Structure 1
Amino acid sequence: MNHNFYIIDDDKGIRKVLKNIIDQYNLGDVVGEAEDGIKAIEEMKVLKPHIVLVDLLLPGMDGIAIVSAIREAGIRTNFIMISQVISKEMVSKAYTKGIEFYIHKPINVIEVVSVIHKVKEKMRMQEVIHSFERAIHSINVLKEYTGEKEIQVVSDKDRIKKILSQLGILGEAGSNDIVEMLLLLLAQDEGTRGRLLTQKISDLYEMLNQRYRDAYGIVMNIAAIEQRIRRAINKALENLANLGIEDYSNDIFVKYSNSLFDFKEIRKQMDYIRNKSNYGGKISVKKFIEGLLVELKIDRENIA
């Protein structure tokens, strides 16, 4: 697959350097470039590039605002942030808004090529997963068409995706990582699973990375896996808080606000959304994963 790139930087020289790297290393085609966010957003809505390299600090509209606007417009693309800024807070905010990787200026050719290859690996992994899902869907449609009857079996993957859908995060990039992590844990016996959940969360990320290597032949970046998962869970926290504000007795809010999160963090997020606080709620990846395992167990027992 030939990937299309879009470059956003107010420095014409930087745009030229990035374009030359993409051309020289046959990474894909640069379909457009811009020096400001307004032009970039309008063009990207039409061009729908696979990968966007965007500067953090731009006149008028910064890179984070551009990422947010494209996400809100429903355009699925992969963002690589480029900047001289080294502030951990700014970098963290950029990841939260939806970037995949961060490249520091001055531009280093090896780093640019490496990061782009990692983004491509992530895209390939998602396509493999989607192709499996499309194949399964096609089989089910064929069975329906031919009138073949069989007992419906709900897989663990379907159960996980149902919960993520209820939380409003099935479309998030990190949802695939959450599904794969849960399937990895469910494949273990109860004793091993319990021991794994007492270990550092970084150990689970490493195991997930190993799963990607073994199952799909893809080497992922552990930091990127962590950021995607945290971004998806943060989105779930935000969605639940909004549900609670609209209807405190909402079934999904009641069901998941305590099992997947610390309820006081949900309350903090609700206060933040209502502008009653300067700080939102915090997440615990481990509590979220443990809570999902409990919900899956309950669902299994109910079906049985």
Structure 2
Amino acid sequence: MKKRILIIDDDISIRTMLRYIINKNSLGDVIGELSTGDDASKWVDIYNPDIVLIDFLLPGKDGIKIMEECASLGYRGKFVMISQVKDSDMVGEAYRKGIVFFINKPINEIEVMSVLKNIVKNIEIETSMEIIKNTLVNINPPREIKNNINEDLMKVFSDLGIISEFGINDLKNVILSIVNLKKTDHSYNYQLKEIFHEVVDNYKKNDRNEINFKSFDQRIRRIVYKAFENICQRGSEDFYDHVFTEYSSILFDIGEVRKVMSSLDGKEVKKGKINLKKFIEGIISKIY
């Protein structure tokens, strides 16, 4: 069954383009469009879409405020933020409030396709897990599921060229910790800092060694940035490279990727910005 999608954006050209991309690629059914933030949460509650594509800055009420209101009404669907906002603090706030992906303006068809396909896949898995959860009580996940997740995670690390990086097990443990939390509560809104502390504390309990939190955090960021550099390099060499098209928009800000790619032919390569939560959520959407 196709997923039901609601579009909220004050720019009619953006709404038209999104509807065209969704219909052309059979990504879902657009059940409605809104051009303002006024009463948007009420319409989300009425429509109850699987996915809401929502502009960051809207007349009447901004996207984050709408998301907060929808959460208070019990909405549990997926929010995808659409904006040309580049401020990392504002983008970070959007992720903290519950968006699962961020699509940059101007709209890119490949990015929209990649994001929606991964969200649909994630929704279908969550639905299956919810059915199992409601049917079987107090049962541990089968060993096969855990093994598959580990294998899929290693494949992603290999695709990104980071599988042999120092500290890759730290990143693996962070991701698996979040997956375990999502198994019990799919809508769990975590803080990465808390997850990092949890993993570090487990290290201390098991190894009885002092683990430096700052060094742990830096190792994670260095690995993620290495993946970012690898993706940019692959995209600059071949824009239709299968790894680039599969991962670039779901793991990173496509605007940052383009900025670095455009500088690779020059003498001075530009530095790009990464968002750890977007990266981790993107990986989870691929393996869980």
Please classify the TM superposition score into its range, dividing by the shorter chain length.
0.5 to 0.7
Give the CA deviation at 1:59: 1.5
Equivalent residue, structure 2, for 1:285: 195
Deviation per residue, 1:198-238 (Å, 9 max, x gap) = 866423256689x99xxxxxxxxxxxx9xx9997334xxxx
Matched-pair contact (CA < 8 Å) for 1:230–1:285: no
- What is the distance in 2 between the residues matched to 1:50 and 1:100? 13
Give the CA deviation at 1:131: 2.1
Is 1:232 equivalent to 2:192 in the alignment?
Answer: no
Is 1:15 equivalent to 2:15 in the alignment?
Answer: yes
- What is the distance in 2 between the residues matched to 1:78 and 1:50? 6
Amino acid at match of 2:173: L
- What is the distance in 1 between the residues matched to 2:103 and 2:75? 22
Amino acid at match of 2:56: L
Equivalent residue, structure 2, for 1:202: 171
Matched-pair contact (CA < 8 Å) for 1:6–1:51: yes
Matched-pair contact (CA < 8 Å) for 2:50–2:78: yes
Corresponding residue SS for 1:38: coil
> CA, structure 1 residues 93+22, in 2 after alignment: closer, same or farther (shift >3 Å)?
same
Give the CA deviation at 1:76: 1.3
Corresponding residue SS for 2:52: strand
1:21-36 equivalences under 5 Å are: 21-36=21-36
Corresponding residue SS for 2:60: coil
Amino acid at match of 2:89: E
> CA, structure 1 residues 25+229, in 2 after alignment: closer, same or farther (shift >3 Å)?
closer
Give the CA deviation at 1:111: 0.4
TM-score by length of structure 1 reads: 0.52
- What is the distance in 2 between the residues matched to 1:45 and 1:207? 32
1:1-304 equivalences under 5 Å are: 1-137=1-137, 201-205=170-174, 232-234=189-191, 283-289=193-199
Amino acid at match of 1:33: E
> CA, structure 1 residues 233+292, in 2 after alignment: closer, same or farther (shift >3 Å)?
farther
- What is the distance in 2 between the residues matched to 1:99 and 1:80? 6
Corresponding residue SS for 1:7: strand
Give the CA deviation at 1:46: 0.8
Corresponding residue SS for 1:86: coil
Unaligned runs of 5+ in 1: 138-153, 158-179, 185-197, 213-224, 235-281, 296-304
- What is the distance in 2 between the residues matched to 1:22 and 1:15? 11
Give the total of aligned pairs.
Answer: 182
Give the CA deviation at 1:129: 1.1
Corresponding residue SS for 1:10: coil
Corresponding residue SS for 1:21: helix
Give the CA deviation at 1:72: 1.1
Give the CA deviation at 1:33: 0.8
> CA, structure 1 residues 288+230, in 2 after alignment: closer, same or farther (shift >3 Å)?
farther
Corresponding residue SS for 1:233: coil
TM-score by length of structure 2 reads: 0.54
Deviation per residue, 1:87-113 (Å, 9 max, x gap) = 111111000000010000000011001
> CA, structure 1 residues 205+91, in 2 after alignment: closer, same or farther (shift >3 Å)?
same
> CA, structure 1 residues 233+28, in 2 after alignment: closer, same or farther (shift >3 Å)?
closer
Amino acid at match of 2:20: N
Corresponding residue SS for 1:37: coil
Matched-pair contact (CA < 8 Å) for 1:201–1:286: no
- What is the distance in 2 between the residues matched to 1:74 and 1:59? 24
- What is the distance in 2 between the residues matched to 1:55 and 1:43? 15
